Structure 1
Amino acid sequence: MAWVTAIAVAVPCGLVEAWLSGPTPFRILTSLAQPKWALPRWGWMLVGGVCYLIMAYAAATALRLGAPGKPGITFVVAVLLTDGIWNYLLYRRRRIDLAYAYLSPYPTLVVVTTWAIVALDSLVGTLVALYLAFLPYERAIKVEPRTAAAAAVCGCFGRGGGRAHGRRERALRVGWLSPGSRATPESGWGGAISTSSWIRSGGCVRG
């Protein structure tokens, strides 16, 4: 019965995360440049599936214990729901800077969840810790706009004076456009593609 309840909890959380990701998350992901060592699409799907299995296992373990397991199930649900916020920021809002900034506080919740589950069952807690160990890798990937988008930004930044500076400042706050959009220096920042993380991590204009 605990497993049935755990699945009944995990499935809605997965649906919420899918909705937060928007209609075309993988299309958006492939529109971004990634390091050669980044996971392929199937790899991300595998990681997501394994994560949900681990969390469902942790939820079932907590539910079987009754009252002592309430903190554990609460933290597991919190992890599953807040995991979707990263997808929302990256895929729906298309804000790389905010998505990666979010990865700073998020591991704290996973640490607390790991501790809560370890207190219930050391084996299951170790499995949750595997997800925690994966988070630094996820943060290190640092996706960026592809060359075409970068060229558009470079074109705008290449113009000197206050106008270029103003555009640069605005670029620190905006995301990139949908795949297939066109951006030129003349089109203004309504058609430019940029992110603060791209600029600060080695774009054509350095802070």
Structure 2
Amino acid sequence: MADYEEVTASKKLAGFIEKRKTVFITILIVLVCLLIGYVVCASIANNNKVKGLQAIDEITFELTDKSSSLSDSEITARLNTAMEKASAYTSKGGIVGARANMLCADIAYQQKKYAESADFWKAAAEKSKKSYIAPLCYFNLAVCSEETGNNADATAYYKLAADNKNFVMRTHAMFSYARLLEANGNYADAAATYTELNDSFSGDAWANLAKSRLIALKKDGKIE
């Protein structure tokens, strides 16, 4: 009886599939096409990323190759050319766009166009929020903000860089953050950051400077 029911069920399933085989085949074709489309798109995206990074590397090489022997006018010309070429990639997403904005930011900084450099660093940071590049972008954005006299933004961006525990310049960022807090008269918070820096990174050059600032603040009666 069980065998009969199993055979009957199998026949019913086979009949169901047979009657609707066109639908099943269509669904299968669609799924295969979607898979192929995904693979093709992923391949194209990867190729575009590779080409974009190669282009940025070439622009950087053209900018820096044998630059030590160039005159000021030749250096200026190279900077302008590199900026023009790299700008074509700044609107790209991901690492390509981030790298292009970083290059443009560096060029603008060399030209003492600090506000423009800050804009490029900000764009680079937004395109790489979850990567190792982000804290470097925030740090340089803080430097540019400080150059333009915008200490409020500089303080905030130094803090973002300092909060990243994997940032190789973290102690520098922490000291700069505390330095601006101190400059703004926020001695208590500055001292707290100096203390954290000194306690957590004993022996580091920036920790040593933090220790000296703590001594100076106590001597001046600005903290207890």
TM above 0.5: no
User: Which TM bucket (shorter chain)?
Assistant: under 0.3
**1 or 2 for the larger relative contact order (CA 8 Å, sep ≥6)?**
1
TM-score by length of 1: 0.26
Question: In terms of Rg, which structure is larger?
Answer: 2
